[in-house]
Amino acid sequence: MIRSPCRQCGQPLRPYLCSPKWCSSTRQWSEDDRRKLKGKRMCGSPTGGGGLKPPPDHAELQRQLDGYRHHLDQCAQIAGKALGYPWFKDDQQNFPGSTDADGVCIGDHVGDSIVEELARAYEAVKAERDALKAAADRLTNSDDGEGAA
């Protein structure tokens, strides 16, 4: 019979006397017992099971949020540059002292809207490319047809 050790004292668990949450030797509940966690918010499943770790503190959440905001701003700048938006550095009258590091002026756009505009521009360029390809094929085919006749 395989017996798992007690988390408190390390001794094998004894049937009907010990459990993973209760140590009969030290007569204590383990740290992750639900009785001790009652009223505390836990991450994991909706019932509080699973990971049983406390939620991240406010500073960690703020750090993650700042990282996501920076990432979205960088994505919007990349899309704005690809769409040919004006640079802050080119308008020194309204934005004195701005440099390349300040990027492009994307106006009221947010990440979703500027990427949507970029996707529309991409589709338009693709359609134009396909039309030019078809016209080139027609010209090539008509040249071949005339030479054979």
Asked whether the whole model's pTM tops 0.75, one would answer no
Mean pLDDT of 72-90: 91
Domain assignment present for residue 6? The answer is no
User: In this structure, is residue 40 part of a structural domain?
Assistant: no
The answer as to whether 31 is a domain residue is no
What pLDDT is recorded for position 112?
Answer: 85
**Number of domains comprising the chain:** 1
**Radius of gyration for the chain, computed over Cα atoms and rounded to the nearest angstrom:** 32
Would you say residue 83 has pLDDT above 60? yes
pLDDT (0 to 100) of residue 120: 95
Would 87 be classed as within a structural domain? yes
Do the Cβ atoms of 126 and 110 come closer than 8 Å?
A: no
Residue 103: CB atoms within 10 A of its CB come to 19
Supply the pLDDT for residue 111. Answer: 82
Segment 88-144, tens digit of pLDDT: 999 988 889 999 889 999 888 888 899 999 999 999 999 999 999 999 999 988 876
More confident residue, 69 or 36: 69
The sign one gets for the Cα dihedral 87, 91, 95, 99 is positive
H or E element at residue 23: strand 22-23
The pLDDT of residue 41 is above 60: no
Residue 52 forms part of a structural domain: no
Domain that holds residue 93: 62-148
Residue 28 lies in a domain: no
SS3 74: helix
88 in any annotated domain? yes
CA angle 121, 123, 124 (to 5 degrees): 65
In a domain, 132, yes or no: yes
Which of the residue ranges 17-21, 43-47, 64-68 would you say has the lowest mean pLDDT?
43-47
